[in-house]
């Protein structure tokens, strides 16, 4: 097993202090911060150059966590997620308990449950949702691996995770679906 204890500890320190990390997710490399901290979210949006009001994906470790940050989700979505092989982000209709800029304009929230070891450890220890937006400047292509991330992004964060920096094979972005009245609406395959 790979030891990423030091990366977890340093990432947790930055997240608790309201900073931004650059980290490998279950999909592509992401910029992350405490999704409940308004100032941290604003700092991340500014670094990325992303327009406000567009919402951000958050990562959570368990189905129980989803219930804490959404109002009345349809539990059938969890059955669907158990049938998917690709990491899937779900847009739930009513987000709760996160910074305003994490929510979409309609109040919905995009959440992905992660199975990847590093992210699960980080989320379980942090005990709050962590933002996950692609590690690129707004309008630029998403980096397929660490070597494609711009220097501006790398130097603009408080901590860069070492784990998986040498990974060279491409990681695709997640699928995105919206779950409405028990039906799946595909946003991105």
pLDDT at 1 exceeding the cut of 70? no
Asked if 182 and 74 count as a contact pair (C-beta separation under 8 A), the reply is: yes
Number of C-beta neighbours around residue 115 at 10 A: 10
- Please give the Cα distance from 153 to 121 (Å, whole number): 24
End-to-end CA, the chain:
31
Average pLDDT on 57-75 reads 94
- Please give the Cα distance from 58 to 69 (Å, whole number): 10
How do the domains of the chain map onto residue ranges? 5-167
pLDDT band for 127, please (50, 70, 90 cuts): very high
pLDDT at 74 exceeding the cut of 60? yes
The chain-wide mean pLDDT, for the chain, equals 94
- Please give the Cα distance from 150 to 148 (Å, whole number): 6
5-167 CATH: 3.90.870.10
């Amino acid at each position: 097993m790979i030891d990423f204890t030091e990366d977890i500890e340093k990432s947790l320190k930055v997240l608790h202090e309201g900073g931004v990390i650059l980290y490998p997710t279950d999909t592509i490399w992401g910029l992350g911060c405490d999704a409940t901290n308004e100032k941290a979210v604003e700092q991340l949006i500014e670094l990325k150059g992303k327009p406000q009001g567009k919402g951000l994906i958050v990562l959570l470790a368990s189905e129980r966590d989803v219930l804490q940050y959404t109002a009345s989700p349809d539990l059938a979505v969890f059955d669907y997620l158990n049938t998917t092989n690709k990491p899937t982000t779900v847009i739930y209709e009513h987000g709760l308990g996160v910074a305003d800029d994490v929510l979409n304009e309609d109040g919905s929230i995009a959440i992905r449950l992660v199975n990847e070891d590093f992210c699960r450890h980080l989320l379980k220890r942090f005990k709050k949702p962590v933002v996950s937006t692609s590690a690129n400047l707004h309008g630029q292509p998403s980096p397929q691996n660490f070597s494609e991330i711009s220097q501006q992004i790398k130097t603009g964060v408080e901590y860069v995770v070492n784990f998986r920096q040498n990974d060279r094979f491409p990681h695709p972005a997640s699928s995105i679906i919206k779950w409405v009245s028990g039906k799946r609406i595909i946003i991105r395959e």
